[in-house]
A = this chain, B = another copy of it.
Amino acid sequence: MKNKKENINLSIDFLKTISERNRFRILYLLRENKRCVGEICRELDLPQNLVSHHLKVLKDFGLISSEQEGVRIFYKTNPKIIKKYLKLVDKIL
């Protein structure tokens, strides 16, 4: 169990990560099925480099994971991790 200040900072970082519109939409899109980058681009009508960038931010925070399948890379979300952070925020506020 971390201390209060660390939990506050962690909560803020989490909230900043998911509050960006396109990242939130990506998480929403991935909540059911895994998708490759190109699919995400098409579904959300966003350029590839932008989607790659947001995927990296989400992955760096541990909210999504990826697996290579041939030339494509599929991303999937882990709802349990998201729930864990939401609970932390709920506990603090």
Which A residues fall within an 8 A CB radius of B? Answer: 8, 11-12, 15-16, 18-19, 21, 24-25, 27-28, 31, 77, 79, 82-83, 86, 89-90, 92-93
**Out of B24, B83, B93, which one reaches A82, CB within 8 Å?**
B93
**Residues of chain B within 8 A of A24, CB atoms compared:** 8, 11-12, 15, 93
The answer to whether A28 and B83 have CB atoms under 8 Å apart is: no
In the bound complex, what is the Cα–Cα distance between A82 and B83 (angstroms)?
A: 15
The answer to whether B92 and A89 have CB atoms under 8 Å apart is: no
In the bound complex, what is the Cα–Cα distance between A92 and B82 (angstroms)?
A: 11
The answer to whether B89 and A86 have CB atoms under 8 Å apart is: yes
**Residues of chain B within 8 A of A12, CB atoms compared:** 19, 21, 24
